[in-house]
Amino acid sequence: MDLLLLAVPGALTTVGIIAYGAAHPRAQLFGQTICRTSSPRKLAITFDDGPNPAITPKLLDLLDRYNAKATFFLIGRYVRECPELVRETVARGHAVGNHTETHPNLFWLTPTQVRIELRLCHDAISNVVGAAPNWFRPPFGLRNPWVIPAARELGYRTAMWTLIPGDWHGKPAEWLISRMQPITQHAARSLANGHNSSVDGSGTGDVLCLHDGAHRQLNGDRSRTLVALEHWLPRWRDLGLEFVTIGEAVSTPAP
């Protein structure tokens, strides 16, 4: 038997496991992540790649209209360019998190490079808002074995998602709206009979990953994200969903 014939399937399996651990939003292979909220009633809306002067102010107004609190995973170099916008985001009751300094694919970086990416963004946010953020999300959702430990060193919990509709594709708002339908279906199913985790102990809610910024340049066009949320927020509210920050999302619901 040719040894290579035995080795290749084994190697492919290993590659498959590493790819899963690195990229799957709910994989825990390379460290613990949070992907769900503690109650089907709680929806954690999250925005990556900001702050973005072209969209974030409009988004803050829209969220206010529905008394919605959200979490913004910020790029450090944009934080330095738009400190006022970051302060405004926090002043309106939203959480801000670390999304690295330059938005690289962390999978290929050394432990030192990963630490520098996290530290620079950490310092940028801390200096602007006067408090260190508690939550981290890796760019592209990609991890390697030293990403989450490096985040933990700085006191972070890592947040992933249950739904990522793909608002960066630049497709029409109608397409994006239909891609966000699973939130509605899940909520309708879970809440229709008054079900929640305090009743059956098993229910969880969604973490939605959207983008208010674009990692390649400031002022990216995210108008469709805004339109899709204008469509869904009143409908989700009428279903009984509460829009909470990621920290509130994982706290134990009141009995």
d(CA 27, CA 41): 24
* 139 part of the interface to Zn ion, by CB under 5 A: yes
Q: 236 in helix, strand or coil? A: helix
d(CA 116, CA 223): 32
Min. distance of Cβ 110 from Zn ion in angstroms? 21
Q: How many CA atoms lie within 13 A of 71 on its CB side?
A: 28
Provide the 8-state DSSP code for 37.
Answer: B
* 49 part of the interface to Zn ion, by CB under 5 A: yes
Min. distance of Cβ 139 from Zn ion in angstroms? 5
Query: The tokens of 103 are what?
Result: 């938005």
CA–chain centroid gap for 127, Å, is 22
d(CA 149, CA 115): 10
- Pick the catalytic residue from 48, 49, 167, 206: 48
Q: Identify which of residues 47 and 236 has a Cβ nearer to Zn ion in the complex.
A: 47
Binding Zn ion (rule: CB under 5 A), the pick from 37, 48, 114, 210 is: 48
Instruction: Specify whether 48 is catalytic.
Output: yes
- Pick the catalytic residue from 94, 122, 211, 215: 211
* 242 part of the interface to Zn ion, by CB under 5 A: no
Min. distance of Cβ 69 from Zn ion in angstroms? 20
Q: Identify which of residues 205 and 220 has a Cβ nearer to Zn ion in the complex.
A: 220
Cβ proximity of 74 and 90 under 8 Å: no
Among 132-140, 163-171, 198-206, 218-226, which window interacts with Zn ion (CB under 5 A)? Answer: 132-140
Min. distance of Cβ 200 from Zn ion in angstroms? 35
Instruction: Indicate the pairing of strand 242-243 with strand 42-50.
Output: parallel
Residues with catalytic annotation?
48, 211
**Interface with Zn ion by CB under 5 A: which residues?**
48-49, 139
